[in-house]
Amino acid sequence: MAEMSIKKKRPKNLDLTTIRLPLPGKVSILHRVSGAGLFLCFPVMLWLFGASLESPESFASFQSLASMLPVKVIFAGLLWAFVHHFCAGIRFLLLDLHVGIEKEAAGKSAAVVFAVSIPLTLILWGVLL
């Protein structure tokens, strides 16, 4: 006897502007975006670092480039991406160990990621840049 598969009609909302994610969902998406951004920018950062070490002149040109506002904004975004990815990564490691997997605890840990990553980025921005 052939088995019949029954497809359930589920509502689909493909309009991304109307989807309301909970905070843990936003942290998850930002974790992926920050990881992809860091991965894609890593070769450029390595090249810039290597180029800045070639000579005192190349370091001076890199230093003048780094003092421009658009470059500072990019560096700030990369710094935030690193800090957020690190903090969210610790959260996800704890979730993998079944720590804080309940709905309320997961929401609180997602809030902690933002509460830690944003001030830590500002602190590192002041110290590093």
Per-residue pLDDT of the chain (129 residues; tens, 9 = 90+): 556 667 777 777 777 788 888 999 999 999 999 999 999 999 999 998 998 899 999 999 999 998 999 999 999 999 999 999 999 999 999 999 999 999 999 999 999 999 999 999 999 998 876
What pLDDT, on the 0 to 100 scale, is given for residue 15? 78
Distance from C-alpha of 31 to C-alpha of 108, rounded to nearest angstrom: 16
CB 66 within 8 A of CB 60: no
120 in Cβ contact with 83 (< 8 Å): yes
- Tell me, what's the pLDDT at 11? 74
